[in-house]
Amino acid sequence: MSDNNNKNLSELDEIELQEWLESLEYVLQTGGPEKVKELLHNLDTYAHQKGVEIPFTANTPHINTIPKEKEPPFPGGREIERRIKSLVRWNAMAMVVRANKEENGIGGHISTFASAATLYEIGFNHFFRGKDGNHDGDIIYYQGHAAPGIYARAFLEGRLTVEQLENFRRELKPGGGLSSYPHPWLMPDFWEFPTVSMGLGPIQAIYQARFLRYLEDRGLKKPSDQKVWAFIGDGETDEPETLGAISLAAREKLDNLIFVINCNLQRLDGPVRGNGNIVQELEAVFRGAGWNVIKVIWGSDWDPLLEQDKTGLLVKRMNETIDGESQNYITRSGKYVREHFFGKYPELLKLVEHYTDEQLEKMKRGGHDPEKVYAAYKAAVEHKDAPTVILAKTVKGYGLGEAGEGKNITHQQKKLNEEELREFRTRFSIPISDDEVTKAPFYRPPEDSPEIRYLKERRKALGGYVPKRVIKSQPIKTPPEELFEEFYKGTDDREVSTTMVYVRILAKLLKDKEIGHLIVPIVPDEARTFGMEALFRQVGIYSHAGQLYEPVDSDSLLYYKEAKDGQILEEGITEAGAMSSFIAAGTAYAVHGINTIPFFSFYSMFGLQRVGDLIWAAGDMRCKGFLLGATAGRTTLAGEGLQHQDGQSHLLAYPVPNLVAYDPAFAYELAVIIRDGIYRMYEKREDVFYYITIMNENYPQPPMPKGVKEGILKGMYKFRSSKMKDQKLKAHLLGSGTILNEAIKAADILEKNYKVSTDIWSVTSYKNLHLDAQETERWNMFHPDKKPKTPYISEVTKGESGVFVAASDYVQIIKDALAKWLPGPLHSLGTYGFGRSESRASLRDFFEVDAKHIVYATLYSLYKEKKVKLDLVKKAQKDLGINPEKPNPAKS
Ligand SMILES: Cc1ncc(C[n+]2csc(CCOP(=O)(O)OP(=O)(O)O)c2C)c(N)n1
Ligand SMILES: [Mg+2]
């Protein structure tokens, strides 16, 4: 084709394009943007049908989503809000600097809040609703490292004292201090949500927003316009928990949820995406998931330039700038920005030729521009049918100047020298003299100053101060004993597992007139594994949309029933998500004033070790509810193998201070524990939550012996005393969970074959026993002049003679820890080591926790006590079929 032809073709293209654009303009004028969208969509579909591949892009240009002409008027006082913000900035910085002056290495963060101050202040002055009035208040997850800024504001509001600020990170000082990060355990009237373990805030916020809908859809809460706000670091989005549940938020159309991601381009060590662009990356991720994305990138200073940019070259330059470069523009001079940013294209240099270098240096990022942030928040709260994420571009360490603004070291900056303090003071016009400034004093203007009056008025109009944790719910009455009595009776010969018993208890609780509606069953796609499918039909699976299809099993009795008022939270395969729902339901007594009682059952292996950090956060939050580690026990869950067989969750439950842990063996134990749990958590209002293991091994459930309730709850009781007259040889077998049955079998063998009088003890909670013993011992140590107290375990075993052998499906160390409080020597058997696929019997043999190993360990203990001869032990080894050279399960 000749050049001439080419030229003609491109001219034709030009004309054609012009015609298309004119047509589109016509549609825009006559039908509006919606019509344009519809038309383009139809064209897109048509092209696809004709086999035209249209390149996919989830990105919009790297400019603000809301154009200048669409910005709403700013309703606040710009100048007064700037002054208030400056005071908050100063006090937040001073808090960290002073704490570190006083105690080197005490830590704290200046630069996180410095970059986020405008994002929070616009919220405090215009959006975040408190709980004081008729409104339930917004639910706000503050970024953990921004805590100094939140304290500084509370100080200006008159909610915190100078002394408390001085004691930031010094919580043991007289008069009290302030916790490093949001911790409801430490500041129960202030903080609601711990967020500092990165990623846990965002995922919890998503499930909180969904739980809010659940409460409304089930009629437990009046529908409201409450919002859930989550403030997140851009580095924090690397955490799988941060982004892992965003599709749920879009699927559920959670327009009550707003993420604000502070894109200061830096994390702890350096840039978040030096070679990329985190705002654009996140935009694509969130848009792809179906979120409403609002980018707040450029401050108002950039508007005139963008307006003059008729060729689109400035936007092109913005699009191609990577974050490593952007960070440079902050730390270098205006001259550098001119040369390197604008200088790439001569036309852009011309665009800014009338700007001084100083002007260029001061051009703001969007996240520091109150009007832009206000516009984004307003659009977010008004958006319907999808959650919103605001991607706000800011500068880490904003205002710190040489002390760290935009520098890679800024996250760790905790001290400012005299010069830097003076500069900070001057930059933000804080009325502190040169003499005083070096001491970094806190500054609060007088009560009747315009600043204090303004911020108080604003908070009053918005329903009071935030953050604030209040408990509006009332204690509830524990269901009566009658509900549980069927489980005290035993099952005669009928073989059932404790999991089946649990499901039956749950089903009965769900029917209870008083508290049935408050029960929240939660499963991560494991209901059938645990035999819970009957509940699908009984109470339904929660779905905001209801059930839009006829379920495939609709003709069966137990069909998969989804309903808007369904009670079960069927979370799918996400333990982290299910745990977040558990936390939302278990803290609703405080957050919503509603005593929902979550029962979250999961594969015990995928609990404490999978979502341990969320469980720790639940403890911090004073969460209530029942965690059920199902299919528990290393040797009880046969076949599933190494990754499924749990022999350590009870060890992992031990360190969570307010997690009460039980490993019950029998139906009546489980029933007693659950009833007491409801009583302690919801009637007595203790800040504890429960971890209970339940198993899938079937066996006849015995009736409850008399007078054992206290022992069940305290952790140990005598299940059976030996009837043997001859007590020369005496042993006590301690069994837990399913392994108690092995102990019972062992006792029979010991009595029959070896003439050892054997008592059997059920140990329901080694953790309880251990904590009780420790507490007693501690008291005795501090009160040497008083009559010593006796730990429960010693009291209950007082006067017993003989040897003690403890066996459970969990690692030995939990049992070993109790040895010194028993009246005789203890030998413990447990399941340390990797599991494997096998039958129960083989596994118990392999881990040495079956009846024969218990018998053998008992005889060996008696031999060590010189009660039996070596020959007997050796013969028993043979008779019992124990191979002394078998591999050590701990190492194989
Ligand atoms: C789970 C977890 N891992 C690591 C840390 C340590 N840490 C604290 S702040 C931080 C960097 C935060 O960067 P970013 O999220 O961008 O927040 P910014 O301070 O920049 O706003 C890290 C790694 C943590 N708090 N939690
Ligand atoms: Mg960051």
Is 736 found in the same domain as 690?
A: no
Query: Measured at the alpha carbon of residue 852, what is the angle toward residues 848 and 853, in degrees to the nearest 5?
Result: 30
Residue nearest ligand 1's atom 9 by CA: 268
Residue nearest ligand 1's atom 19 by CA: 112
On whether 613 is known to bind a ligand per the annotation, the reply is: no
Give the Å distances, CA to CA, from 82 to 74, 161, 830, 886.
13, 23, 64, 75
SS3 of residue 514 by DSSP: coil
Is 745 found in the same domain as 631?
A: no
For residue 236, report the distance from its CA to the centre of ligand 1, in Å.
6
Is 232 found in the same domain as 83?
A: yes
pLDDT of residue 869: 98
Q: Tell me whether residue 882 is in a domain.
A: no
User: Which residue of 118, 142, 268 sits with most ligand 1 atoms within 8 Å of its CB, as the best mutation to test the pocket?
Assistant: 268
Distance between CA 593 and CA 612 in Å, rounded?
Answer: 26
Number of domains in the chain: 5
Is 584 found in the same domain as 549?
A: yes
Q: Tell me whether residue 144 is in a domain.
A: yes
Residue with the two structure tokens 């002049």: 785
Is 248 found in the same domain as 155?
A: yes
SS3 of residue 509 by DSSP: helix
Residue nearest ligand 1's atom 25 by CA: 197
pLDDT of residue 1: 44
Q: Tell me whether residue 689 is in a domain.
A: yes
The answer for 844, left when phi > 0, alpha when psi is -120 to 50, beta otherwise, is alpha
Is 292 found in the same domain as 190?
A: yes
Kindly give the number of the ligand 1 atom that is closest to the alpha carbon of 239: 1
pLDDT of residue 493: 95
What's the predicted TM-score (pTM) here? 0.95
**790's tokens:** 């006796």
Residue with the two structure tokens 């003299």: 433
For residue 96, report the distance from its CA to the centre of ligand 2, in Å.
19
Q: Check if 410 has its Cβ closer than 6 Å to any atom of ligand 1.
A: no
For residue 231, report the distance from its CA to the centre of ligand 2, in Å.
11
Which candidate, 496, 555, 878, places its Cα nearest to that of 702?
496
For residue 846, report the distance from its CA to the centre of ligand 1, in Å.
44
Q: Check if 233 has its Cβ closer than 6 Å to any atom of ligand 1.
A: yes
Q: Check if 197 has its Cβ closer than 6 Å to any atom of ligand 1.
A: yes
Distance between CA 99 and CA 108 in Å, rounded?
Answer: 8
Q: Tell me whether residue 67 is in a domain.
A: no
- For β-strands 826-829 and 569-570, DSSP reports them as unpaired
Is 139 found in the same domain as 107?
A: yes
On whether 696 is known to bind a ligand per the annotation, the reply is: no
Q: Tell me whether residue 470 is in a domain.
A: no
Is 693 found in the same domain as 813?
A: no
Q: Check if 235 has its Cβ closer than 6 Å to any atom of ligand 1.
A: yes
Is 379 found in the same domain as 356?
A: no
Distance between CA 462 and CA 456 in Å, rounded?
Answer: 10
pLDDT of residue 505: 98
SS3 of residue 158 by DSSP: coil
Give the Å distances, CA to CA, from 79 to 241, 446, 450.
39, 18, 11
CATH number for 617? 3.40.50.970
Q: Tell me whether residue 278 is in a domain.
A: yes
Q: Tell me whether residue 886 is in a domain.
A: no
Residues 6+ apart with CB under 8 A from 829: 805, 806, 807, 808, 812, 848, 849, 853, 854, 857
Is 338 found in the same domain as 380?
A: no
Is 308 found in the same domain as 276?
A: no
On whether 567 is known to bind a ligand per the annotation, the reply is: no
pLDDT of residue 7: 58
Max intra-chain CA distance, the chain: 117
- Looking at 636, 669, 700, the residue that finishes a domain is 700
What residues flank ion ligand 2 with Cβ within 5 A?
233-235, 264, 266
Mean pLDDT by 10 residues, the chain (892 residues): 57 87 93 93 91 89 97 97 98 96 92 98 98 93 98 98 96 94 98 98 98 98 97 98 98 98 97 98 98 98 95 95 96 96 96 96 97 98 98 96 91 92 96 95 98 98 98 96 97 97 98 97 95 94 97 93 97 98 98 98 98 98 98 97 98 98 98 98 98 98 98 98 96 98 98 98 98 98 98 98 98 96 98 98 98 98 98 98 96 94
**845's tokens:** 């043999």
- Looking at 666, 700, 734, the residue that finishes a domain is 700
User: Which residue of 265, 408, 411, 616 sits with most ligand 1 atoms within 8 Å of its CB, as the best mutation to test the pocket?
Assistant: 411
For residue 704, report the distance from its CA to the centre of ligand 1, in Å.
52
Kindly give the number of the ligand 1 atom that is closest to the alpha carbon of 238: 15
Per the structure, the complete domain to which residue 422 belongs is given by 78-298+366-459
Is 429 found in the same domain as 290?
A: yes
Q: Tell me whether residue 66 is in a domain.
A: no
Q: Check if 273 has its Cβ closer than 6 Å to any atom of ligand 1.
A: no
